[in-house]
Amino acid sequence: MYDVIVLGSGPGGYVAAIRASQLGLKTAVVEKEALGGICLNWGCIPTKALLKSANVKEYIDHAADYGLSVEGASADFPAIIRRSRGVADGMSKGVQFLMRKNKIDVISGFGKLLAPGKLEVTDADGKKATHSAKHIIIATGARSRSLPAIPQDGKRIIGYREAMSLPEQPKSMVVVGSGAIGCEFAYFYSTLGTKVTLIEYLPNILPIEDEEVSKQLEKSFKKAGIEVLVSTSVEQATAGKNGCEVKIKNAKGEAQTLQCDVVLSAVGIQTNTENIGLETLGVKTDKGRILVDEFFRTNIPGVYAIGDVIPGPALAHVASHEGIVCVEKIAGHNPTPIDYNNVPSCTYCYPEVASVGLTEKAAKEAGYEIKVGKFPFSASGKASAAGAKDGFVKVIFDAKYGEWLGCHMIGAGVTEMIAEAVVARKLETTGHEIISSMHPHPTMSEAVMEAAAAAYGEVIHL
C-alpha cells in the first residue's frame, strides 16, 4: 500500500513524486515509456538540442560578420538528430537516478484506475498487477493533435515527435500551426536549409502573444527565408509516394495547392485520458480535460490530476508547480494556489520570444488605463556587440497604481530574462521600483529597466 501513486512520469509526474517522497510519503510512479515523459524525451529538452545546432549553424553562416572566416562547413542532419537523442537519453537517465535517490518505486507499464485507491498496471508482456494507494495523481500528459484534414501517417505527414527524428532532412516542408512548436520547427528546418512554409489560420503567428511581438517575429522569419502565410486555412493535406500536396485557402477565399516533401502538423495537443479508467470511476471531464479544484482534486476523493490533462496552459513548468502544490496539500501543508495570470511563456526559435501577464490588447479590454514602454535591442550596447539587434522589450503598467500588468520580449536570450518580470509581478513590484533597481551594464537585461523608464517618460538611451 502506497501513500501516493503517480500515473505518468513527465515534468508534472516525476516532480510530484519527488516532492511526495521528500514529505515522507511512500511513493510510486507508473510509466509506460521512458521516465521524464514527453518533455524530456520528445519535447522541451531534445527540441532545445536541435535548436542549439541550428543556432550554431547560423553563427557559422554569419561568421564573416564577426571578422571570422569559416570554410567548408555543412550540416550533418543525422548527427544533429543523434546529438538531440543523446541529450534526451541523458536527461531520462537523470530522472532514473532521482527516482532511486528519493526511494520512489518505478512501475513500468500502462496504468488504469479500477476504483478509488486501486490501479491496475499492464506491463509490456501483457501481465497485469494491481497496486493500492491512498492518493492517485493522474499526470498522463498529452500528444500531438490529429485533424481529419491533415491525417498523420508518421512519414510524410508528421507530428512533433517524428519531426525530431526524421531519417533524412526534407528539402521542403509545410508547417501547419504557428504556436511555439510550429515556430520552433520552422526555424530549425529553415536554418538547416529546408524550404519552409509556415501556415497560420489566425491573423498573426504565435497568436497568443502580444501583436507587436508576433509581427516582429513574422518579419524576422521572412527575412530568414521562411514563407509565412497567415489568415490561411489548410483544407486538405495528402501524402503521396514522392511528397505531399497541401490545399490551402486564404482570407479572400482564394485556393492554392502547395507541394512539399513533408507536412508537420503543429495544430495543438490532445490529452492522454483514454482507457485510464476515468469513466469507471466517474471522474468529471470537459472537452477531454479532467476537472479539478485549486489543489488539483477531482470530484472523486483520493484522485487528483495535474499537467496537460487539466484545463490551463500545457507547459512543463506549469505541470511541475501543479505537482508540488498537489502533494503539499495531500501531505497536510498549506500551499499557495497557483496564479495562472503569472505563468511565463517561452518560444525558443530565433529571435526568442518570452512573455508573462496581459498583452496590451487584453489590458485595454480589461478596462485598465495603461502606460506602455518599449525598448529596442538596436539601442542596446550588449545587443550591438553580440550582433543580436533584432527585437525589443515591451512592458505594460497600470497607470493608476503602477502594477506591472504584462511583459513581452522578442530577441536573443529573452527566455532567460523573463523570470525578472515573473518574480517582480509576484512581489507586486511597480514600474518605478524596476526603474530604480540597478541593472548591470552592458547586458540585454538593461532593456527591461529602459522599457520601464520609457513607460514613464524617463528613458535615457532612446
What is the pLDDT at residue 144? 87
**Band of the pLDDT at 38, cuts 50, 70, 90?**
confident
What is the pLDDT at residue 37? 87
> Of the residues 242, 267, 292, which one is the last residue of a structural domain?
267
Helices 316-330, 13-22: inter-axial angle, 10-degree rounding: 30
| Residues tagged active-site | 441
Return the closest-CA partner of residue 425 out of 459, 443, 398, 455: 398
**Is residue 442 within 8 Å of residue 382, measured between CB atoms?**
yes
**Is residue 106 within 8 Å of residue 28, measured between CB atoms?**
yes
Q: How far apart (Å, rounded) are the C-alpha atoms in residues 270 and 392? A: 33
Residue that is written with C-alpha cell 479590454 in the block: 365
**Is residue 119 within 8 Å of residue 113, measured between CB atoms?**
yes
pLDDT of 259 above 90: yes
Q: How far apart (Å, rounded) are the C-alpha atoms in residues 292 and 337? A: 12
Beta bridge partner(s), residue 353: 347, 410
User: Pick the residue with more confidence: 133 or 462?
Assistant: 133
Amino acid at 247: K
| Residue 460 domain flag | no
**Is residue 182 within 8 Å of residue 158, measured between CB atoms?**
no
- pLDDT tens-digit readout, 139-180: 999 998 889 999 999 899 999 999 999 999 999 999 999 999
Residue that is written with C-alpha cell 503569472 in the block: 342
| Residue 41 domain flag | yes
C-alpha cell belonging to residue 82: 543523434
Range(s) of the domain holding residue 301? 2-144+270-340
Q: How far apart (Å, rounded) are the C-alpha atoms in residues 405 and 125? A: 53
Q: Does 172 share its domain with 254?
A: yes
Return the closest-CA partner of residue 374 out of 400, 358, 351, 397: 397
> What's the structural domain count of the chain?
3
- pLDDT tens-digit readout, 191-238: 999 999 999 999 999 999 999 999 999 999 999 999 999 999 999 999
Q: Does 104 share its domain with 216?
A: no
| Residue 247 domain flag | yes
Amino acid at 127: K
CATH number at residue 137: 3.50.50.60
Interval 334-345 mean pLDDT? 97
Amino acid at 277: G
Q: How far apart (Å, rounded) are the C-alpha atoms in residues 255 and 242? A: 23
Q: Does 299 share its domain with 239?
A: no
- pLDDT tens-digit readout, 107-132: 999 999 999 999 999 999 999 999 99
| Residue 110 domain flag | yes
